[in-house]
A and B are shown apart, each in its own frame.
Chain A
Amino acid sequence: MKAWKLLGLALVGYSLYAGLMFEVPRLVILNETIRNLYFHVPMWFTMIALLGGSLAYSIRLLRSGDAGQALDLDRDRQAKNFAEVAMVFALLGLFTGMVWAKATWGAYWTADPKLNGTAVTLLIYAAYFVLRGSVDDPEKKARLGAVYNVFAFVLMIVFIGILPRMTDSLHPGNGGNPAFGNYDLDNGMRLVFYPAVLGWIFTGWWIATLRVRLARLTS
């Protein structure tokens, strides 16, 4: 087993323990929900990392047919499985966010730009899976899926970039609400947050590669 996989597990284990047990700043309204930073935010980092991986595999798939050769369909398998695992992390991020929102905002769902960005990302990748599902020929499925994946990823990033500038948001880090940068004094939180992000990215990546290997065996 490679070292980064063990490191990923160790960091996740550490962040689970430290996230629940270590001291955190005491702030009004937020109170103990501030600990959600360690569990909610790493989900989004992991999702973006895995979607980036999926994008890279899609580009490599398209490039593999450049010299008139047959497409490297294994790249398609990788792109699809990475996107699937990314969606699981998106759902986890959504649920951890909704629980937090109920505790602090008083509602599970609001028309907040961050929530809309999540909803659109889920819809875009749901469409990616529908597109793949509606083609039978594996070569065509791989090519159309990869083209859509590249097109959709760029528009999604633009959307996530534009949206918070269009409307105000209640989300920490937007609209003057405190976020991580304001806890500069509390370096204790950084010592848990960064390992958590890294640990979850490694673990997510590992899960995706395991799924790819399983798909190779069953195909």
Chain B
Amino acid sequence: MVRAKILAQFIRWEWALEYRRSNGWFLPVLFAAMVGYLVSLLVRQPNPVQWLSLLWITLVFSALQTATRSFSASPSEWLYLNQLARPSELLLGKSMTTALNTVFVAWTGVFLFGLWLGWPRPEGLDAFPIWTFLTSITLGAVAMSTTLSFTAALSSKLSRNTGVMAILSLPLLLPTLLVAMRSSKLALLGEPWTVLYPNWLGELALSALPLALGALLFPYLWRS
């Protein structure tokens, strides 16, 4: 059903295009940086849980920025892509590039938060548990991006889609956000991966579910 070669070519193209357009990958990164800086000016020395909540709020809106643009190609581009790839390949390819972009933006956000707000240091920990924390953030970002890719595909079909994208996505993102928040909170408190992995599996499941649903529904969406 899905041809790997087409998918690989698709992703290569997306990267070339994103890199060439200065408003491509740079825009959401800049957005994350600006919101992060704003937060660092407004909030002084947050406790670890506040730090994490602010981080996730920043990440959600940055991911929204990233995903909104992912289906914003011109009609002629779409016509060409439709001849090249099947609908499910199109959705999968777009979801994968959106996921890569979102992860990149999330990492930037995390490091800027660390730089401007300081790394949170829960009691009894010598060092910031960077690897388990980053895994939780990365899986959470991927899970957000698969839901967002589908709602972006939906709202790209609307002529007046400003705001609708956010309204459609935010309630659907809640399960993902709760699992991701819990997983990264446990990581921040220094839990080892043996405690964290059920949450990571949850994040993976929440990435796969919208993809599977999307693959079923996308052909109907694309026919119009």
A166: contacting residue among B154, B164, B170, B178, CB under 8 A: B178
Residue of A nearest to B216 (CB): A150
Assess whether A29 is interfacial by the CB under 8 Å rule.
no
CB distance from A79 to the nearest CB of B (A): 14
> Are A131 and B168 in touch, CB under 8 angstroms?
yes
Chain A residues with Cβ below 8 Å from B178 are 162-163, 166
Chain B residues with Cβ below 8 Å from A150 are 213, 217
B221: contacting residue among A135, A143, A152, CB under 8 A: A143
Interface-lining segment among A122-130, A182-190, A200-208: A122-130
A39–B217 alpha-carbon span in the complex (Å)? 37
Assess whether B174 is interfacial by the CB under 8 Å rule.
yes
Assess whether B57 is interfacial by the CB under 8 Å rule.
no
> Are B179 and A166 in touch, CB under 8 angstroms?
yes
The number of chain B residues with a CB under 8 A from chain A is 29
> Are A155 and B172 in touch, CB under 8 angstroms?
yes
The number of chain A residues with a CB under 8 A from chain B is 29
| Residue among B164, B171, B179 with most chain A CB within 10 A | B171
Tell me what chain A mostly uses at the interface: helix, strand, loop, or mixed. Answer: helix
| Residue among A124, A151, A154 with most chain B CB within 10 A | A151
A65–B221 alpha-carbon span in the complex (Å)? 11
> Are B158 and A144 in touch, CB under 8 angstroms?
yes
What are some 23 contacts across the A-B interface (CB < 8 A)?
A: A120-B171, A120-B174, A123-B170, A130-B167, A131-B154, A131-B158, A134-B160, A134-B164, A139-B224, A144-B154, A146-B220, A147-B220, A150-B213, A151-B154, A151-B172, A152-B171, A158-B175, A158-B209, A159-B174, A159-B175, A162-B175, A163-B178, A166-B178
B interface with A by C-beta (< 8 Å): 147, 150, 154, 157-158, 160-161, 164, 167-168, 170-172, 174-175, 178-179, 182, 202, 206, 209-210, 213-214, 217, 220-221, 223-224
